[in-house]
Amino acid sequence: MGATGYAGFELAKLLLLHPHTATPLFLSREAAAQPLESYYPEIAGGESYPLEPFSWQLLKARGIDVLFLATPHELSRELVPEALAKGLRVVDLSGAWRLKEAANRAVYGFEEDQDAAVAAELDRTAVYGLPELHREQIRDAKLVANPGCYATSVIVALTPLMRSGLVDTTRGVVCDCKSGVSGAGKKPTQKTHFVEAADNFFGILGDWTSPHRRDPGTGGTTCRRPYLCSTFAADSTRHSFDDLFRANQARYCERN
């Protein structure tokens, strides 16, 4: 669900080419939507991929057992408990279930959950969907909460350094991150219009210091100082480029 978005279409292409999956059922939140190839002509010329209106009855009738959600955070937060209650396994590409602590999830501005106890249990049991680190847990997970672009690029780069003892955990880590404009999603905003984004470089959410000292991807390694992460949007369509700085025993910064 959500195949017309940027992340959703990348997922659609992976599923269409995967040797062990049938042709996916592409779902739309709209009652009447054009086929997927009308949004992305690069897949036109062969089979047509209709977008069908989402309903639980349709999923049951088609025998769907895995639901991929490339939907807004708040919609994923609403749909996942019901999907799991109906026996589906879910892979969620939004930020709805990534963060374990309520204080960290506050950035998304979620409304109160319909069933707070169920939501709390899902927050606790959702598997962080980074296969480089959690492949075995993902295999049997009922709910996989995929990481975002900044988190993926930082964790994959930082984890081997942390595990190898190359980071002075008494001094913390600085992650300087830049993402392409597509990371903001397909819905246009003032900052993502061409005139605003072209030849520009601007901060996203400002600089922030991680309120949690234990990163989901560091395998339990804890910094005694917080991670400092600065996030920026660059004037490119898609990429994620990070500089990671660590303080070594000689007390100067070295870039990795």
Q: Per-residue DSSP letters for the chain?
A: --TTSHHHHHHHHHHHH-TT-PPP-EEESSSS---HHHH-GGG-SSS--PEEEP-HHHHHHTT--EEEE-S-HHHHHHHHHHHHHTT-EEEE-SSSSS-SSHHHHGGG-PPPPSSHHHHHHHHHHPEE--HHHHHHHHHH-SEEE---HHHHHHHHHHHHHHHTT-S-TTT-EEEEEEE-GGGG-SS--TTTSHHHHTT-EEEEEEEEE-S-SB-TTTTT-B-SS-EEEEEEEESSSS-EEEEEEEE-TTS-EEE-
Q: What is the mean pLDDT of residues 165-194?
A: 73
**Cα radius of gyration (the chain):** 20
User: pTM here?
Assistant: 0.79
Please indicate whether residue 253 is annotated as part of the active site. no
pLDDT at 79: 96
pLDDT at 245: 57
Question: Residue 218 above 70 pLDDT?
Answer: no
Per-residue pLDDT of 40-88, as tens digits, reads 999 888 889 999 999 999 999 999 999 999 999 999 999 999 999 999 9
Per-residue pLDDT of 14-47, as tens digits, reads 999 999 988 899 998 877 678 999 999 998 888 8
Contact 216, 152 (CB under 8 A): no
pLDDT at 233: 64
Q: Which residue has the higher pLDDT, 105 or 202?
A: 105
Q: Which of 59-73, 80-94, 116-130, 214-228 has the lowest mean pLDDT?
A: 214-228
Main-chain phi, psi angles of 86, to 5 degrees = -90, 5
pLDDT at 228: 58
